[in-house]
Structure 1
């Protein structure tokens, strides 16, 4: 009875256990940036499709290479003569006389045939065997390029969400300060120390801050949706990002003295692989002057009889082996033009590689210039934030003491609000530009 109870309990809990497992497989408990990237590389539809393309490439290669193996085929046929064939033979009783027309053969024929062929040289099969490694590499490089793009897209989308969340947090703090200032202005108005102007200004600033918060909240939902799209994350599942601003500030450092290495860029690697495949294509067309050669062997069972019921009562087997040589001698200069076309494609790819090098240099120069500019702006905004915070706190105390006007407090509040937004915006712009530099250098880690 105890064993039965355990089994029943397992059956009851099994659906919930499976559901919990499904949730674990499709959601993130801790959505840090590395975890989001890792999730995207596993679930992003474009990456999954690219990996399927790798499998398709592998099956195509194996399909082509299968032609190197012996090919064994079994065929069988049956035929019935409605009108018997006629052969003409000399009259052996009268050799000088006219020849005689004689019906030959039987009504029913059946010929099962077992055929074995082996390719010895064929340029199609030779091309498949020599380019298999490069074709596999090309498929993997396509997946790698997709992973790099997904990593960059997820990182930037992640930073966009964080920027919007920080903007909302800044607006929340601004609303708290303005609400406190509004109460101070209202109390001073009631006590006759100030007129309605300060109170109205405080109300206007508070309303503007609340409107900004609402707009940022709406924008946050859109940016979350975009991040989920880049990750391949279920739209209906919640995604709570986990981050440390202090740690992110420490990640802004970058060695700006690094030099461009073309070999590190996946685009350059793809062009190199394409170059090798085009070189193989040139050889493939040159091989068209070499004859194809194959070996074959056939075993035939011939059944023949005038009566269908006795057709398979006796067989007349035969078998033979041989070699087949196919050598096209003249094709109207077609082979020459194919070789020329293959060489031109190879030459064109060399020009594309040169153009890619120039593009990589330009991308790196632009990305590095943007990064350095954003780095300078970040340090400026960080200093401005400290200054604006000190100014606001000082003026707030002086206003309460009746030394400063409320207009000066509002200006200081606006400056603090602006510098806070500028600081976080510069931080995430800097992190995004760092991604562009790493991508330009070919060092973006995924």
Structure 2
């Protein structure tokens, strides 16, 4: 019976393990939009930026709480190990004829004493309070802009990684087709050699091409797998899951969309909002330092009960407890602080000037960035068109060379050279395609339309 139980437990564990493996290998399908949305919800930076907005919201409540009544309670218990002594002159009505000294020591206190109190403090006026409240709300607004900036960075990284996967996928399919083409040529050339119509060197040339193409395909496969893993990292998708891209480059880069992108004038960038909010914070800090010159007024109330006794048990006797209560106001007037506030105000004014300079520079940099991004995309599109034409021409040359070789009017060397030129044209085309896609994302970022 025990043996059956052990086998049952082992079977259950194996079933759970296999089920977890199957779940981990679940294939998830993503479009570009779905990848971006998943990243905004699961990327670590995006999640931390969202949490920061929650923290800044809590800081507003913290600032509000400073203007509400502050209530504190206290309890104390003291055992006087050595009761303090006061001295009186040993003369007059207090004279002690049995005491040879000229002073009489008198103990003031008891062995045990205790107390309980409640203190309520209410701010009546503090010039810094309302400035701090507004500053807390401004910090919350800044956290929202920081979150938007972080999300833009996440979108940029995901889009570039997504395009890299698509480019590597197309390269992989083309490399597989090229390998099949070279394999067909190798079989044909080998057959001609066996029949005496081709030399051994012709077979060797094609074999070298085949080996090189096979190695290149392995590299492209590895690059494709790596690019998918990097995309998962950018998205926040667990690496154990298998993902499948359900869109092609043609679906995402339609000519009319590219034209519309190049004609887009752009929108307000979040970096401008961040800088403006920082300017507001410095201005509020300036107001706060100025308000430090104003007096502050607080109301306070204290209620306490005190008890004492010579014996421990008598301390808790209600007859030994007495009530005390105090109410009052506290006015604090700043007089001189060594010019500390004046120096802080001076620093604030300098910071405002610095931010103004940064604002001018930022506006100019944004304009240059937009111009540069548009120019780069236009140049990359022209380069892409040239490389596409070169690839078509190289394909045509290879086809003609292959036909001539099959009909016996061309050489094997011509076919090998044409194949080498075709592969080079393909590499140049996909390099230009990748550059154009990255330039497109950079332009979207420069225009402030990354979504």
TM-score (norm 1): 0.85
Secondary structure of 1:402 counterpart? coil
Equivalence map 1:252-401=2 (5 Å): 252-261=258-267, 264-311=268-315, 312-314=317-319, 315-401=321-407
State the distance in 1 between where 2:183 and 2:384 align: 30
Equivalence map 1:108-127=2 (5 Å): 108-127=112-131
Task: Answer whether contact 1:163 1:425 (CA < 8 A) is retained.
Answer: no
Q: 1:395 to 1:101 in 2, by over 3 A?
A: closer
Alignment root-mean-square deviation, CA = 3.1
Count residues in correspondence: 423
1:74 maps to 2:79: no
State the distance in 1 between where 2:444 and 2:281 align: 29
Secondary structure of 2:389 counterpart? helix
What is the CA distance between 1:329 and its match in structure 2? 0.6
1:212 aligned residue: 216
2:30 aligned residue: 31
1:167 maps to 2:171: yes
What is the CA distance between 1:387 and its match in structure 2? 3.1
Task: Answer whether contact 1:61 1:128 (CA < 8 A) is retained.
Answer: no
Task: Answer whether contact 1:367 1:440 (CA < 8 A) is retained.
Answer: yes
5+ unaligned residues in a row in structure 1: which ranges? 1-11
Task: Answer whether contact 1:27 1:233 (CA < 8 A) is retained.
Answer: no
1:64 maps to 2:63: yes
Greater alpha carbon shift after TM alignment, 121-130 vs 134-143: 121-130
Equivalence map 1:411-426=2 (5 Å): 411-426=417-432
CA displacement 1:52-94 (0-9 Å, x = unmatched):
33333333332232111111111122335533554879x9989
Q: 1:196 to 1:67 in 2, by over 3 A?
A: same
State the distance in 2 between where 1:88 and 1:347 align: 69
Secondary structure of 1:370 counterpart? helix
CA displacement 1:105-140 (0-9 Å, x = unmatched):
655433321111111223453333112221111112
Secondary structure of 1:76 counterpart? strand
1:236 aligned residue: 240
Secondary structure of 1:30 counterpart? strand
What is the CA distance between 1:363 and its match in structure 2? 2.3
Query: Following superposition, which runs of at least 4 residues in structure 1 exceed 6 angstroms of deviation?
Result: 91-94, 98-102
CA displacement 1:193-235 (0-9 Å, x = unmatched):
3333432222221111111112222222322222222122222
State the distance in 1 between where 2:26 and 2:55 align: 29
What is the CA distance between 1:252 and its match in structure 2? 3.9
What is the CA distance between 1:279 and its match in structure 2? 0.5
Task: Answer whether contact 2:266 2:449 (CA < 8 A) is retained.
Answer: no
1:132 aligned residue: 136
TM-score (norm 2): 0.84
Task: Answer whether contact 2:124 2:297 (CA < 8 A) is retained.
Answer: yes
